[in-house]
Structure 1
Amino acid sequence: MGWEDELFAVFDDLEGQASALYAADRTAEVADRSRAEYQQVSLASRLMASAGSTLTLVVRGIGPVAGTVERVADGWLLLASGEHDWVVHLGAVSTVEGASVRSVPEVAWSPLTRLGLASALRRIAEAGERCVLHLVDGTRHDGALRRVGADFCELVEGDRRTVLVAFSALAAAQSRPA
């Protein structure tokens, strides 16, 4: 083998090493970018991708609640579960089973999904439906929602007793059939 062949063999070897280093560096960069991008994924965006699916949520103060995700919005979701619908405060969700592996970024959400928990509770109040408010500490209040403020709701229980419930303490509102 002549000196030219040996030189080309050295260049080929160096080029192979450079390609291997680039590939290893690229793999690490892609993994870093993937981790960085996933930091932007919220629980709500994963739940939004699960709309129409049956999930099991563990909700603080209640325990497991299973049902079909009907709607996801800013800070809450609507879960259909047999005769009862649940308006679940996302801040009270501990775990979710059965969620889609995908997510829907918030920029792709409908403007209606920007409506907060107060909007969902106002709909219940306006309909005059009876409901049970489940709190994160495990207590329950059964009655009819009358008014909804900025960060609380007003529930009238059976004996006309009025209870104000702070949204920060609310785990979920469960509908009661008439």
Structure 2
Amino acid sequence: MRWQQLFADLQVQFEAAAEAESRAEWASRARAEMGAVRLVDRLGGSIGAELVLTCRGAGRVSGVLTDLGVDWLLLAGERGREELVAMGTVRAVAGLGRWTAPEREDGAVRARLDLRRALRGLARDRSAVQVLLDDGAVLTGTIDRVGADHVELAEHHADQPRRPAAVRQVQAVVIDAVAVVRTLVPGWD
């Protein structure tokens, strides 16, 4: 009888030790997996969510996350305003959902859809925009052209179309200095 009790006691101790080791291993594995998750993957799992970003130079920027590129994200803001945010200026994100998008491998096409290409789309659009720089400066006008490392902005009042008489000056802005490009809504801005 005493041997059976001893063996039962040892069995309980062994099972408890194995369970504790399993829990510790699971927690360690979960921490390691979380350590490999990039912010872009967390953002990818939050498409359609209302986010509040804190950006260098632009402060707080909010809206519904509608798209995500290699080095940019697109928010749909109030009154149909869209905000193209350079990922390099993002300092904090509030409103992330519980989900993380699976790690994606950017193919050749997706890798070329960078901030420069997104800015070229705005230049084609000929819409008035507000460009918030990473030093806090705000420029308003129309993007004329996008180079390899800069964007040329014809500065004019938001309520005027880009016409030679309305343009105050054309500025070349280094793309790395761009924090947020906000489309302007006629009659509201």
Where does residue 17 of structure 1 map in the other structure?
13
Q: Which residue, 130, 133, 145 being the options, matches 1:132?
A: 130
Equivalent positions of 1:61-140 (< 5 A) are: 61-83=57-79, 84-107=81-104, 114=111, 115-140=113-138
Amino acid at match of 1:60: R
Structure-2 change in CA distance of 1:8 and 1:49 (3 Å)? same
Note the C-alpha offset of 1:167. Answer: 2.5
Q: Distance in 2 between matches of 1:53 and 1:130?
A: 26
Provide the rounded CA distance (Å) in 2 between the counterparts of 1:151 and 1:23: 56
- Number of matched pairs: 174
Q: Does 1:154 align with 2:152?
A: yes
The 1-side partners of 2:49 and 2:184 are apart by 23
Cα deviation, residue 164, structure 1:
2.1
139, 164, 176: which one aligns with 2:172? 164
Q: Which amino acid aligns with 2:4?
A: F
> Are 1:41 and 1:105, in contact at CA under 8 Å, matched by a contact in 2?
no
Shift of 1:102: 0.9
Identity of aligned residues (%): 34
User: 1:8: Cα distance to partner?
Assistant: 2.0
Q: How high is the TM-score relative to the length of structure 1? A: 0.88
Tell me which residue corresponds to 2:185. Answer: 177
Deviation at 1:64, TM superposition (A): 1.6
Determine helix, strand or coil for the equivalent of 2:5.
helix
* Post-superposition offset of 1:154: 1.9
| Displacement after TM superposition at 1:160 (Å) | 5.3
* Structure 2 CA distance for aligned equivalents of residues 18 and 109 of structure 1: 47
TM-score by length of 2: 0.83
Displacement of 1:121 after TM fit?
0.8
- What secondary structure sits across from 2:96 in the alignment? coil
Can you list the C-alpha shifts for 1:102-142, whole angstroms capped at 9, x where unaligned? 11023278987542111211110111111111011100111
Between the aligned partners of 2:109 and 2:32, the Cα distance in structure 1 is: 29
Gaps of 5+ in 2: 157-166
Q: Which residue of 1 aligns with 2:42?
A: 46
Superposed CA RMSD in Å reads 2.0
Residue 134 of structure 1 aligns to which amino acid in structure 2?
Answer: L
